[in-house]
Structure 1
Amino acid sequence: MNKSKVDFDEFTDNYNSLLRDSTGFFTESEAYFARYKVDILRREVSSNAKRVLEYGCGIGRNIPFLRAAFPEAKITGTDISNASLDIARQENPGVEFFTEYSESSILGLYDVIFIAGVFHHIPPVERARVMKMLYQRLAPGGTILIFEHNPYNPVTRKIVNDCPYDKDAVLLKPSNLKNILVNAGFSVSNYSYCLFVPPSFSLLLPLETKLGWLPLGGQYWVKANHAR
């Protein structure tokens, strides 16, 4: 499937407002999604990470939560959008940001790689190459955790179809993502569907961890490790 590649430089000024327009029915706080995902990452990473990479960090919405979750770690963000990274640098002083596909994008080994909503923007023919590159960046024994939109959820599909910066999106099933990880050399250790309950229904939030098997969550995540 060929789709026109999105230029994220065009959406840096109104990214958060577009996100609120798309997901306001679930929560009006775009920070909720960042905190939610980083909390899962922190729960799934048992070791004390020293170097954490967010691949596809955009304007850096997740970075403050990564810094709080891994206070002893060096946090690095990368993206293909220079305009997005300019905002990320302004909002997160002291964090290193690099443009992907540049000479500076070869950054060494990381204990943790965090990716949220990026792979559906990568053309399917390029996904295997990108995953192999990420495998080379992860330290032996390290953890990669990837969040993606759930294509089985009709509400998610509508949000993606209506969102201007998702016009190039090709959604992946969990089985697709797991296969790409395994073919790149990773060992898949866990996965779960997530984002079932809006935060306004706080009494129901504990159900999130018990519904991970149910393919109706708004998103899902896959955890994999670099074989020692």
Structure 2
Amino acid sequence: MGKGNGAGNHAGHMDAIYRTQRHFYDVTRKYYLLGRDRLIRELAPPRGGTVLEIGCGTGRNLIAAARAWPEARYFGIDISEAMLETARAKVQAAGLAGRITLAQGDATAFDAEALFGVSRFDRIFQSYTLSMIPDWQGALREGAGKLAPGGRLDVVDFGQQEALPGAFKRLLFAWLARFDVEPRQALPVVLQQIGGAQGLVDQFTPLYRGYAWAGQLSTPISTAISTSAA
């Protein structure tokens, strides 16, 4: 899939960051990317359903989800080919190549039908990706627009540390900035705006005293029922 200059520049930037980090990414991130396993535990895709991770990185989350919910099909995109190289190897080693399909794609604009032969998904999730995507609002809109009837988009990312000491927040944000990571203060408002524009129900939950924020956009139950009945 072709990429414009902006997406191409971002892809190159991500490859530069993760060309080395990808080899020890999962070992280090498990200590501070909190809320990922909570998201996977609550994923609950329907039997035979489709699950897409936008910004799948090393494939860690998709592998965990595929093991937790074995009756669904899994798909992942990432803009970094370096990360995808690692993800493909991990998926193969886990024996899940038949259930997890990976492709390179820009979170803000991708053709799921062309990449996977699937245009809509029962579950979509974005784990600690919005804080690294320049057009993070576009990435949220893109994901929300690819939900199947009855579908749900789940997000977890860094919060604003609102119930933690100010010194901790300053140190954390300064450290994150070194890796071009910017926690999105406007996330609750943007979830509400996108939900209103696309007819979705929004939900927002601070986790761990605001260390992490979780959000959801879901198809209203009445809409899902009427669509399936038709």
Deviating above 6 A after TM superposition, structure 1's stretches of 4 or more consecutive aligned residues are 32-35
TM-score with structure 1 length normalisation? 0.70
Please give the alpha-carbon distance, in whole angstroms, between the structure 2 residues aligned to 1:226 and 1:115: 17
8 A contact 2:160–2:210 mirrored in 1:
no
* Aligned residue in 2 for 1:14: 21
Please give the alpha-carbon distance, in whole angstroms, between the structure 2 residues aligned to 1:96 and 1:157: 39
* Aligned residue in 1 for 2:160: 151
Following TM superposition, by how much is the alpha carbon of 1:14 offset from its aligned partner in structure 2, in angstroms?
1.8
| Partner SS, residue 119 of structure 2 | coil
Size of the aligned set, in residue pairs, is: 195
Indicate yes or no: 2:219 matched with 1:226: yes
Q: How does 1:13-92 map to 2 (within 5 A)?
A: 13-15=20-22, 17=24, 30-31=29-30, 36-43=35-42, 45=44, 47-48=46-47, 50-92=49-91
Indicate yes or no: 2:151 matched with 1:139: no
Give per-residue Cα distances to partners, 1:89-119, cap 9 Å, x unaligned.
0110202111114664474111000111111
**Taking CA–CA contacts closer than 8 Å with sequence separation of 6 or more, which of the two structures ends up with the larger relative contact order?**
1
Counterpart pick for 2:104 among 99, 115, 128: 99
Following TM superposition, by how much is the alpha carbon of 1:64 offset from its aligned partner in structure 2, in angstroms?
1.8
Query: Structure 1: which 5+ runs fail to align?
Result: 21-28, 197-215
TM-score with structure 2 length normalisation? 0.70
Following TM superposition, by how much is the alpha carbon of 1:30 offset from its aligned partner in structure 2, in angstroms?
3.7
Please give the alpha-carbon distance, in whole angstroms, between the structure 2 residues aligned to 1:74 and 1:157: 40
Change in CA separation of 1:166 and 1:181 when aligned onto 2, cut-off 3 Å = farther
Please give the alpha-carbon distance, in whole angstroms, between the structure 1 residues aligned to 2:137 and 2:175: 27
Indicate yes or no: 2:119 matched with 1:113: no
8 A contact 2:204–2:216 mirrored in 1:
yes
Letter in structure 2 aligned against 1:140: P
Indicate yes or no: 2:228 matched with 1:217: no
Please give the alpha-carbon distance, in whole angstroms, between the structure 2 residues aligned to 1:82 and 1:158: 31
Following TM superposition, by how much is the alpha carbon of 1:136 offset from its aligned partner in structure 2, in angstroms?
2.6
Query: Structure 2: which 5+ runs fail to align?
Result: 1-8, 224-230
**RMSD between aligned alpha carbons?**
3.1
Sequence identity, in percent? 19
Change in CA separation of 1:60 and 1:33 when aligned onto 2, cut-off 3 Å = farther
8 A contact 2:63–2:91 mirrored in 1:
yes
Please give the alpha-carbon distance, in whole angstroms, between the structure 2 residues aligned to 1:147 and 1:182: 17
Give per-residue Cα distances to partners, 1:42-97, cap 9 Å, x unaligned.
32647446111110111212122111121111111111111111110011020211
